[in-house]
A and B are shown apart, each in its own frame.
Chain A
Amino acid sequence: MKEFEPKIIAFCCHYCALAAADTAGRTGLQFPPSLRVIRVLCTGKVEVPHLLKAIEAGADGVVVIGCKFGECYFKQGNYRARKKVERAKSLLEETGMEQSRLRYDSVAGPSGKDFAAVISTMTEEVKALGPNPLRS
């Protein structure tokens, strides 16, 4: 049987996470092929319905990756994003789905290694959960 390869949606901030993803690619770092990146100008603009909609549409996991705290280009966007992810987690749990399908993380702009690590951790966690039950 083919091993479960989770579909992960990553909302990446333009200034840090996307730059880190680029660095990871340029330096040849390996991270799971399951990733679908959505670029956002700032993670603060990712709203709770976007996160729930991604799960509804069949994503096995959704990760929002912003700048390190204190380094947001828009000052507080990553703090807002973290709160929204926390809210979406509890909303998701109310529906009977696992809240660990959602995650907030932050990486520094140049750190491709950190980006690959975030994606790998998320992939492993979602693998342990199994596929999104809505897809079966």
Chain B
Amino acid sequence: MIVGERKPFSEILSMVEDYSKILVIGCGSCVTVCMAGGEEEVKILASQLRLAFRKNKRDVKVEEAMALRQCDDEYLNDPLLLDKVKAADIVISMACGVGVQHATSFFNRRIPDKPIRVVPGLNTTFMGANLDVGIWEERCVGCGDCVLEKTGGICPVTRCAKSLLNGPCGGSSNGKCEINKEIDCAWHLIIERLEALGELDRLKPIEPYKDWRPSHNGGPRKTVREDIRI
């Protein structure tokens, strides 16, 4: 899932303090699961804003709303949500960066007579897994050319600090990475896993340079599935 963290309250407040009608929209998918931008977090942020404004004798209206997925037109195209967006001076999107951008684009397409200002309530941190209650860790950088079949299901592109394809480097010590003793050496894990699978021979061939063109280096990537388009 995409993991996010809420921005500090002072930063959010500075984005919206000049406005008098604020709408906070949560996202019901990834950021709900990582407890950063779901319904409860929307209630908390809206409450905090109302408390801060009322304490400073400011008459500011703070509304709350949810969209199941802010990265999809289908879930933003809700008449009740659009009415709330129209009535607001500024929208705080508690989705990931994808949701914030898509909501900006969608609301401005659907409400052409009023420019809609959308600001982020979260910092989008990474694509990761939920390791335990309240713990998430990055597992994929979206390089566009998956190598997991060669590395026992452990990604060296994401989990090795140097993204080495022929590891480990000299900084691996007792299974840990030299950059931080809390971080496992991805190549140590890969060798352990391949050994358990009896597939250590997979590491004999030298991997050539990685082709980074499918990664972000070529600008924003796009997928078009003609087979499902009408």
Contact = CB atoms under 8 A, between A and B. Distances in A.
Interface of A: 47-49, 52-53, 55-56, 91-92, 94-97, 133-134
B44 A95 contact: no
B40 interface: yes
Nearest to A96: B55
Contacts of A56: 47, 50-51, 54
Contacts, number: 44
Nearest to B51: A95
Interface of B: 8-10, 40, 43-44, 47-48, 50-52, 54-56
Contacts of B56: 96
B152 to A, nearest CB: 36
B40 A53 contact: no
A49 B39 CA distance: 10
A49 B43 contact: yes
A49 B51 contact: no
21 contacts: A48-B40, A49-B40, A52-B44, A52-B47, A53-B43, A53-B47, A55-B51, A56-B54, A91-B48, A92-B48, A94-B9, A94-B52, A95-B48, A95-B51, A95-B55, A96-B52, A96-B55, A96-B56, A97-B55, A133-B55, A134-B54
Contacts of A134: 51, 54-55
Contacts of A47: 40
B9 A91 contact: yes
Nearest to A88: B44
Given A52-B43, A92-B48, A133-B55, 9 more contacts: A48-B44, A52-B44, A52-B48, A53-B47, A56-B50, A91-B9, A96-B52, A134-B54, A134-B55
Nearest to A51: B47
Contact of A94 (B40, B43, B48, B54): B48
